Structure 1
Amino acid sequence: MTTLFQRTPEAWRELGGLDTAEEIAQQPALWRELARLLDSQRAALADFLGDVLSTPEARIILTGAGSSAYAGEIIADEINAAWPCQVRAISTTSLLTHPALYLRRERPTLVISFARSGNSPESTAAVQLVRDVVPHARFLNITCNADGDLARQGAGDKFTYNLLMPAASCDRGFAMTSSFTCMLLAALSVLDPDFQTAQIEMLAQLGERALAGWSAPVAQLGAQKVARVVYLGSGPLESLAKEAALKILELTGGEVLSVANSALGFRHGPKAMVNRETLVLMFRSSDPVARRYEGDLLAELQRDQIAAACLTIGAGGNFSIDAPAWADAWLAPLWLLMAQQYALHQSALLQLRPDNPFASGTVNRVVQGVTIYRHDAF
């Protein structure tokens, strides 16, 4: 009998979580499809980008809201270190409220927008704001929905490139899963000067092994009730911790509180939240110096014995896979597979419907209730 994360597809359907379970499981296949898509557009993308990445005075803004913002945060420093231009991750929610802090009319600007549906009011409003303020700005829209407002807004515009993700990545479920990892890998592939298609193929193979090997232990962990979950990560993995914490918060309808922090930052106050109903999960960096700091905190938490458990995700961790020592941003989609599964099981444990944990509509798949206000040109 076919099983999916230790349950049959029919069981997931009855629990209201089949879409989410399938969308977590499909990611390695979608990464392969993404690699083929990127290969077919490599020349067109290079022509669109031109020399902006090698221009010191140019600004590259990685933007989105919620999970889409975290995708930009994970890769920003990696890309900034690789090119002379300035690369920053700035959420649409910050761009819209404080544009004067981030935009300069005289600076060549490329805005890279991450959007699952492309229908969030902040997504299109942030693009229009930059159009109004920065002459000749360019826009790379990385989106999963060809019919979304963001993609349609840029259609036919010579200053816009719509990079569409594999169609199946436009998640049907509430939480962003395959959409998140596909958009993250797409941006890394386009912006990383050392990118090779074989890297995504290897990541897909590792993902398949991780999904198979972690299925039983993650299900066992997810069957244990907790009141709080802490995700920790260093450097780019701190933003991965934010995404993992958001998955718990979303799929449990806010019943399990979750926070994210860095390994070194956690001691500076947030550690106070840890109690016997708290699970601490740490993403382990591929950087050897970062791993020493992470190891010290892990040993401290285990010595304190104040948490329900302290577990690690990454090379040599409790949830591990024999992966190359790539940059943390490239390994982030692999480690996220564990966190997505865990959130799914916690949702089922609480007898929620993972595909739509907010039946009351208080939180929506595409954000609602946002009024956009114009800024005068500055």
Structure 2
Amino acid sequence: MSSEDLSALGAASTAEEITHQPAVWRLLAQDLQERADTVRAFLEPLLSRADLRIVLTGAGTSAYAGQVLAPGLSRTLSRRVDAVPTTDIVSHPQQIFAEDVPTLLVSFARSGDSPESLAAVQFAESQLSDVHHLVLTCNPDGALARQRPERSLVLVMPEGTNDRGFAMTSSFTSMLLACRIVLGGNTGRMEHAARAAEQVLSVMSGPDGLAAQLAAREFERVVYLGSGALTGLARESALKLTELTAGAVPTWAESALGFRHGPKAVLTGSTLALVYLSNDPYTRLYDEDIVTELRTQLGSSQVLVIGASAPRDATGLTLVPDGLGAVDDAVLAAVFVVAAQELALRFSLAHGIGSDNPFPGGQVNRVVQGVTLHPLPA
């Protein structure tokens, strides 16, 4: 679709921000290489401390970035890594920071202006005697970047990641990949991810792409499933569809094993299911089991499987980008979410909803509003 057509439909910014992600990731890899010495000088002394706790925090989509990253980083760094939303920190900081241990607070913030982002930093400072801050943001002019606390490093994502559209797309993947690289290493993963995302876009995007074909089938609800790090991806995928369709399409997100324990009740004859396959060989066994079960219940044409290699039940819709066999699940998530973003865009178009601003009445806002920050009791 032309940019003029997308503009007329209120979707030009969202469409552009989805499709330019591979290019943005390549710029990000260059930026991180140029800042490698600064990053190393900040992080190495911290990561050498065996008692360091790492807390990954953000709200909404930014919180899901932490959920995607925490399992793999905990294993890579051999230390405690917790994903805790800023909304949880703000509502009960004394419980979240009950242990006064050396802490690295990693804040994900597209704008850096949400009240919870700022308050989470302030609560960490007030509750902990030894805290450092790594701020990943897409807005150099946001309050979080400007009002940087002591003992902090601010990494601003490349230009174009501070999404103009309502939903977080390139901001999410850029901050996720940046954190994976600075804490877990290997900027070479970025090129693998960029090439694979280009393949995903070639299959999913456009008026005749797979996303548009699925949207045209008018599914009444959509389910996203993934295990471990990919459970966070499933939640982010469901949120994208909810946001861009203004809630017109009910969604559900769960782990592959957890889905059978009640949530499976959401399935109807008009449900589309997306299953993300882990690259961990053991975890993947459970992902493949749910694929077989869903394809038996719903039919092969209603279950889309996305993985680095084809599932054992390859009879239905399957998307397998090349070159991802050796990457961890956090990198897979950055690539796979592009398919979910494109699907959400096409569902919003099919419902006549402008994805750049699905809530013209202001019921939900790009930067959260209406939050009252209450002082802690004495």
**TM-score, normalised relative to structure 1:** 0.94
C-alpha separation in 1, matches of 2:300 and 2:197: 29
Q: Which amino acid aligns with 2:275?
A: M
Q: Does 1:333 align with 2:334?
A: yes
Partner of 2:244: 251
Q: Does 1:207 align with 2:200?
A: no
Q: Does 1:163 align with 2:164?
A: no
Aligned to 1:183, what secondary structure does the other structure show? helix
C-alpha separation in 2, matches of 1:24 and 1:201: 17
> For the Cα contact (< 8 Å) 2:226–2:277, is it kept in 1?
yes
Q: Where in structure 2 are there 5+ consecutive unaligned residues?
A: 312-317
Q: Deviations over 1:154-179 (max 9, x none)?
A: 0xx54111100012100000000000
Partner of 2:314: none
Alignment of 1:291-302 (within 5 A): 291-302=284-295
Q: 1:221 to 1:301 in 2, by over 3 A?
A: same
Q: Does 1:79 align with 2:69?
A: no
> For the Cα contact (< 8 Å) 1:116–1:144, is it kept in 2?
yes
C-alpha separation in 1, matches of 2:65 and 2:100: 27
Aligned to 1:197, what secondary structure does the other structure show? coil
Q: Which amino acid aligns with 2:201?
A: L
Q: Which amino acid aligns with 1:126?
A: A
* Identity, % of aligned positions: 46
Of 187, 196, 200, the match for 2:186: 196
- More displaced, 228-237 or 91-100? 91-100
Partner of 1:56: 50
Q: Which amino acid aligns with 1:12?
A: L
Partner of 2:112: 118
Aligned to 1:163, what secondary structure does the other structure show? strand
C-alpha separation in 2, matches of 1:209 and 1:250: 25
Partner of 1:235: 228
Of 131, 142, 152, the match for 2:136: 142
Q: Which amino acid aligns with 2:344?
A: A
Q: 1:190 to 1:368 in 2, by over 3 A?
A: same
C-alpha separation in 1, matches of 2:281 and 2:120: 38
Of 301, 304, 310, the match for 1:311: 304
> For the Cα contact (< 8 Å) 2:137–2:175, is it kept in 1?
yes
CA drift at 1:205: 1.7
C-alpha separation in 1, matches of 2:299 and 2:130: 55
CA drift at 1:294: 1.7
Of 29, 40, 49, the match for 1:35: 29
C-alpha separation in 2, matches of 1:307 and 1:82: 36
C-alpha separation in 2, matches of 1:274 and 1:306: 12
Q: CA RMSD in A?
A: 1.6
Q: Deviations over 1:252-271 (max 9, x none)?
A: 00010111001111000000
Q: Where in structure 1 are there 5+ consecutive unaligned residues?
A: 1-6
Partner of 2:372: 371
Structure 1 segments of 4+ aligned residues over 3 angstroms from their partners: 305-308
C-alpha separation in 2, matches of 1:275 and 1:308: 14
Q: Does 1:94 align with 2:88?
A: yes
> For the Cα contact (< 8 Å) 1:95–1:126, is it kept in 2?
yes
- More displaced, 248-257 or 101-110? 101-110
> For the Cα contact (< 8 Å) 1:232–1:262, is it kept in 2?
yes
CA drift at 1:191: 0.5
CA drift at 1:55: 1.9
Partner of 2:166: 174
Q: 1:10 to 1:84 in 2, by over 3 A?
A: same
Q: Deviations over 1:135-192 (max 9, x none)?
A: 24111110000000111110xx541111000121000000000000000000000100
> For the Cα contact (< 8 Å) 2:244–2:345, is it kept in 1?
yes
> For the Cα contact (< 8 Å) 1:278–1:307, is it kept in 2?
no
Q: 1:198 to 1:308 in 2, by over 3 A?
A: closer
C-alpha separation in 2, matches of 1:143 and 1:367: 16
> For the Cα contact (< 8 Å) 2:101–2:130, is it kept in 1?
no
C-alpha separation in 2, matches of 1:26 and 1:305: 34
Of 4, 7, 16, the match for 1:13: 7
Q: Deviations over 1:107-138 (max 9, x none)?
A: 11110000000110000011011111112411
C-alpha separation in 1, matches of 2:204 and 2:100: 50
> For the Cα contact (< 8 Å) 1:53–1:84, is it kept in 2?
no
Q: Which amino acid aligns with 2:353?
A: L
C-alpha separation in 1, matches of 2:80 and 2:49: 9
> For the Cα contact (< 8 Å) 2:193–2:324, is it kept in 1?
no
Q: How many residues align?
A: 367
Aligned to 1:35, what secondary structure does the other structure show? helix
> For the Cα contact (< 8 Å) 2:51–2:102, is it kept in 1?
yes
CA drift at 1:322: 1.8
Aligned to 1:176, what secondary structure does the other structure show? coil
Aligned to 2:204, what secondary structure does the other structure show? helix
Q: Deviations over 1:29-87 (max 9, x none)?
A: 00000001101111111111233223221111100000000001101111111224321
Q: Does 1:260 align with 2:253?
A: yes
Aligned to 1:114, what secondary structure does the other structure show? strand
C-alpha separation in 2, matches of 1:105 and 1:284: 35
Q: Which amino acid aligns with 2:370?
A: G
Aligned to 2:153, what secondary structure does the other structure show? strand
Aligned to 2:147, what secondary structure does the other structure show? helix
